[in-house]
A and B are shown apart, each in its own frame.
Chain A
């Protein structure tokens, strides 16, 4: 049995396998299928300062080896999370991290401040792939200045482990990672979904109510791996890799590319117990390769 423990900022994880925001609800949706205590952590559904209804149906389209979603951050708001969801999930023996989203800097800060008060939430993941309503809908995460501005503001308001989730819809993701590292982020997670679209040729209509949506699943894995590799070389803080991880081999590829931890997203829909299987698979891989710690393979790509 190799040592699977890893650290991100101040936070220790019993193993490097976590589940991705928006694909794992608040964990409770999965308890019939698996034991949450066996994974390293859970990133909750994106949470905003106020209730959001999300986008109109249809919100999903299957694509070759993946899917597009346009859920649009449907959630009941941070106060509801604190009063109604947090009490039910806080005692799971795993790291529960809240994915914080917003449309203005003030919203991000206000949400982070509230989550900072919760004893059993040791970290937040800042989703900077949301449109900045004040700047005409331009996403915070697509420019170094925008990303730095949100992280700077949230860093002042949030004292625990701060993970910043990066958008892949940019020309140079490494420089954005560096910009958020400079502002005091403890870690970066990547990738969020790639912007895409799907059309029904017969009806000449888009499949999604929003026309465009976020692509995820195995089809994005090569892009995600490349970005994790580039970012891991560019920053000193730990990188959390995700995008299309379906099995142990996929997860190992992310560690080799430089990820300290991974998130499993869309794969949970196809096998709701996949994250536990990947924990076991990583153990088996490390034994087979004579490794005593997960750190032996992080960034161990032989190029």
Chain B
């Protein structure tokens, strides 16, 4: 897939809860094909201390409207600057970057997409494509509290949604790995979220002989395989999360699980 540098125009900036926001961008021309799990490198200008681009997952793509969504959590200066983007602002991005989640063997597969915090971002796009291909994905979304739950109605368009919160303010109380849905038969899990959560999900998958793909978020400088800064340890040595990932089959990772 050819990568490109595009100037995208902000068409909406919607605050979600206290700490997240959804950015919608449009482009005057046809957007390149983007796969679920891929990400973009956003150039954030005029933010103090921000030098490198910021990697953000593709949250949703509407190829008819040439629209790209990014779901972002405010954590530092770069994402704070992004939270101030206004309709009409022009933002440069490199895209599409990285590999993608792989489609299931059959449309009948029982698929669970497990997301935590802002890690739910790539699962919406993945869910939309799974639904398009005739699958019935289920979503298990976790957050600290109800305030951290986002895009639930969007997810519901593509499949059944199950929720956990650590404080019990919505859905089942606890961690995603404690949800009762996991007692049922599952063929494949796709996961993205904080590393400890993904490791717990990978452990569950391994113990129950379930196929599992995780999307990693290592620190990146370039985002396209040139600097070798973003490596993760795998069964076959260091691999670049930006170009050989961000999605890995969890069996391939050298996680202590």
Q: Do these two chains interact?
A: yes
Of A23, A57, A62, A66, the residue contacting B227 (CB under 8 A) is A23
- List 15 A-B residue pairs with CB atoms under 8 Å apart, sorted by A's residue number: A22-B227, A25-B226, A29-B222, A29-B226, A33-B4, A33-B5, A53-B238, A54-B231, A60-B219, A67-B51, A71-B229, A270-B43, A270-B52, A272-B222, A272-B226
Whether B228 and A24, one on each chain, are in contact in the complex, defined by CB atoms closer than 8 angstroms, is no
Q: Return B214 CB to nearest CB of chain A, in Å.
A: 16
Q: Which residues in B have their C-beta under 8 angstroms from that of A25?
A: 225-226
- Once A33-B3, A62-B52 are accepted as A-B contacts, the answer to whether A272 and B94 lie under 8 Å apart by CB is yes
- The tally of residues in A whose CB lies under 8 Å from a CB in B reads 35
Q: Return A194 CB to nearest CB of chain B, in Å.
A: 16
Q: Return A201 CB to nearest CB of chain B, in Å.
A: 14
- Once A29-B226, A32-B2, A57-B231 are accepted as A-B contacts, the answer to whether A69 and B221 lie under 8 Å apart by CB is yes
CA–CA, A87 and B14, complex, Å: 49
**Beyond A54-B231, A60-B227, A269-B222, 6 additional pairs, beta carbon < 8 A:** A22-B228, A62-B51, A71-B227, A71-B228, A266-B221, A272-B224
Q: Please indicate which of the listed interface residues A32, A58, A269 has the most CB atoms of chain B within 10 Å of its own CB.
A: A269
Q: Which residues in A have their C-beta under 8 angstroms from that of B229?
A: 59-60, 69, 71
* Count of CB-CB pairs between chains A and B under 8 Å: 93
Of A30, A63, A218, A273, the residue contacting B226 (CB under 8 A) is A30
Proximity bits, B228-242, A CB within 8 Å = 1, else 0: 111111000110000
**B196 CB–A CB distance under 8 Å:** no
**A247 CB–B CB distance under 8 Å:** no
Proximity bits, B49-61, A CB within 8 Å = 1, else 0: 1111100000000
Q: Please indicate which of the listed interface residues B5, B227, B231 has the most CB atoms of chain A within 10 Å of its own CB.
A: B227
In the complex, chain B residues 1-27 whose Cβ is within 8 Å of any chain A Cβ: 2-5
5 A-B pairs with the lowest CB-CB distances in the bound complex, closest first: A60-B229, A269-B222, A32-B3, A29-B226, A25-B226
Per DSSP, are chain B's interface residues mostly helix, strand or loop, or mixed?
Answer: loop
A67 closest partner in B (C-beta): B221
CA–CA, A45 and B222, complex, Å: 14
In the complex, chain A residues 246-303 whose Cβ is within 8 Å of any chain B Cβ: 266, 268-273
Q: Which residues in B have their C-beta under 8 angstroms from that of A29?
A: 222, 224-226, 243
B218 closest partner in A (C-beta): A57
Whether A23 and B226, one on each chain, are in contact in the complex, defined by CB atoms closer than 8 angstroms, is yes
**A217 CB–B CB distance under 8 Å:** yes
**B220 CB–A CB distance under 8 Å:** yes
CA–CA, A25 and B222, complex, Å: 11
CA–CA, A254 and B4, complex, Å: 30
CA–CA, A30 and B225, complex, Å: 9
**A74 CB–B CB distance under 8 Å:** yes
Q: Return B34 CB to nearest CB of chain A, in Å.
A: 14
CA–CA, A271 and B238, complex, Å: 25
- Once A29-B225, A32-B4, A60-B219 are accepted as A-B contacts, the answer to whether A74 and B231 lie under 8 Å apart by CB is yes
